[in-house]
Structure 1
Amino acid sequence: MDKTDLRDKVIEKVNEVLYEKVSREDSTNLLKRGLDSISFIRIIVLLEDELEIEIEDDDILLENFNSVDTICNLISKYIVDE
């Protein structure tokens, strides 16, 4: 999966959870878009299921999920290039 596909997938899952949608070019802090503890966990679960990965507990930190960019950076280390 290339970076563009990953970003699109992350945005899709974030938009499934947050009331205020993010766009492809958006780098806004997701806390300002309504990210709370419940939506934080929902995004993690959706991404793990969709991408067939398991995010390590040590990586489940709000700082890793505060923007689409930080989520993509984290998830990219779990994606194995085929």
Structure 2
Amino acid sequence: MNVRELIIEAISENSFVDNAYEYLQENDNLIQLGMNSLSFIKLVITLENKFGFEFDDVNLDYNKFTSLSLLCEYVKEKIKNNES
């Protein structure tokens, strides 16, 4: 699985988007699809465990990650920096 697929899996696990695999697109607004502060924190914990990094405190605001593409970019950057 690639990063995008693992993030979609995490979104599905945290259930703010039903059937995420079937229809979640890169620029769908995750807040409009049901993400709130509680589901975002659950998602953050899941992603931190899956990828082995911690979100920066300044990025613990779900309003910063309104789309799948923004979330993917952040996770990929954290993974890259973690490997350095």
Alignment TM-score, normalising by the size of structure 1: 0.81
Q: 2:5 aligns with which of 3, 8, 23?
A: 8
Secondary structure of 2:2 counterpart? helix
Moved over 6 A (4+): none
Write the distance in 1 (CA, Å) between the matches of 2:3 and 2:38. Answer: 23
RMSD across aligned positions (CA): 2.1
What fraction of aligned residue pairs are identical, expressed as a percent?
24
Q: For residues 9-28 of structure 1, what are the alpha-carbon distances to aligned partners after superposition, in whole Å with 9 as ceiling and x for unaligned?
A: 10000111124232376131
Secondary structure of 1:73 counterpart? helix
Whether contact under 8 Å (1:53, 1:79) holds in the other structure is yes
Q: What one-letter code is carried by the residue in structure 2 that aligns with 1:32?
A: Q
Q: Structure 2: which 5+ runs fail to align?
A: none
Q: Structure 1: which 5+ runs fail to align?
A: none
Whether contact under 8 Å (2:11, 2:17) holds in the other structure is no
